[in-house]
Amino acid sequence: MNRQLFFTLDVLSLACIAFMLATGLFYYGSLPEQMPIHFNAGGQADDYGPRAMIFLLPGIAIATSVLVGLIGRDPNNYNFPVKVTDENRVALIGESRLLVSAIMFVTNLLLAYIHWGILQIGLGHQTGLNATFIWLFIGAILLLTVNGYVRMKKLA
C-alpha cells in the first residue's frame, strides 16, 4: 500500500479537527448563548443547547480518531470478510487500513461541515444545514465501505 496515501488521509483528518477547534475558538465570543445542537432530516434545527456545545463535534472527532488509531494498530482487531491466509494477510491489512483511513477522513470532513454550518447558523448567516451534503457524505462512507469489502473479497 502507498504510505503517502495513508499519510495524506491522516493529515487531512487532522486538518478537519484543527479547523473545527480553530473556528470554534475564533467565533466562540460572537455566538449566542443558545446554539442548535440537533437537526432533522431536512437540515432544520430542532433542539438547542449552550454555545459551549460548539466543541462537541471536535471532541467526538478527536475521541474517535484516537480510539480508531489505537484499535487499528493491532491487525488482530480487524474483522475481515474473507479467510486470512499467509498469502493474503499483508494485502488484507493494507486494504483495511486504507479503508479505515479513508472513512475517518470523510467522517471528520462531515463533522467539520456540520460544525461550520452550526457556526454559520449561530452567527445568523444561514438558517439550516444543507441536508443534501450530509446525505452525500453518508453515501460516500457507504461507497467506501462497499468498495473496501469488494477489494478484500478479491484477495480471497
Nearest to 102 by CA among 153, 143, 61, 63: 143
How crowded is the C-beta side of 12, counted as CA atoms within 13 Å? 16
Q: What is the chain's pLDDT, residue by residue, as a tens digit (156 residues)?
A: 578 998 999 999 999 999 999 999 999 999 999 999 999 988 899 999 999 999 999 999 999 999 998 888 888 888 888 999 999 999 999 999 999 999 999 999 999 999 999 999 999 999 999 989 889 999 999 999 999 999 999 998
Domain ranges within the chain, ordered by starting residue: 3-153
Distance CA 110, CA 89 (A): 31
**pTM for the model:** 0.91
State the average pLDDT for the chain: 93
What does the alpha-carbon distance between residue 83 and residue 40 come to, in Å, rounded to a whole number?
41
